[in-house]
Amino acid sequence: MEQCLFCNIIAGKIPSYKVYEDNSFVAILDINPANPGHLVLLPKAHMSSLMEMSEQDMFKFFTIARALSLSLLEFGAEGVNFLYAMGETAGQRSPHMLMHIIPRYKNDKVKFVWEPKKFSEEEFKTQQQKISSLIYKGAQPQQQTSTPQPQQPTQAPQEKQEKKIYTLEPRQGGYW
Ligand SMILES: [Zn+2]
């Protein structure tokens, strides 16, 4: 992944302000920070999203994220936001997955804004039912992402649909 900015940062080809590093993960200061101490935590191995991370590594990832947020609180932050975007529509701009760990200070003018949408009880129930019926797929990311599609000609249409929802279409288009 010679073209990936973050792979080059991890390899030391591009300078960065590292605050944490182990065999699998690196945390650096964001050079376009929302606040002083704004960190970016990323896996050393190139991957486009959390879907490609093993459960064991996810445990480490969030354990490190928690440790970093505690250090930010010691640093002077009064609160911390984790900001992770999966998919271009969600705001993912980097092909290398990363999570922002943003220290918050009173009156820092950092805003995460959305306009609340209105749904009827019926609409909420439909969303609840659809999502809860699909969620078990999310508990098995490794199995889902490593299953080659062409070798599953006998798969039921319903299963295919679930798989499509789960594995995120954009990754198949070569953008990621
Ligand atoms: Zn990369």
Going from the Cα of 119 to the center of ligand 1, the distance in angstroms, rounded, reads 39
Going from the Cα of 42 to the center of ligand 1, the distance in angstroms, rounded, reads 9
The CATH architecture to which 5-104 belongs is: 2-Layer Sandwich (3.30)
Q: Whole-model pTM?
A: 0.76
Going from the Cα of 98 to the center of ligand 1, the distance in angstroms, rounded, reads 10
How do residues 44-77 score in pLDDT, each as one tens digit?
Answer: 999 999 999 999 999 999 999 999 999 999 999 9
Going from the Cα of 6 to the center of ligand 1, the distance in angstroms, rounded, reads 5
Give the strands of the sheet with 25-29, arranged side by side: 18-21, 25-29, 39-43, 99-104, 79-84
Going from the Cα of 14 to the center of ligand 1, the distance in angstroms, rounded, reads 12
Q: Is the pLDDT of residue 105 over 90?
A: yes
What residue segments make up the domains of the chain, in order of their start? 5-104, 121-173
How many whole angstroms separate alpha carbon 44 and alpha carbon 108?
Answer: 31
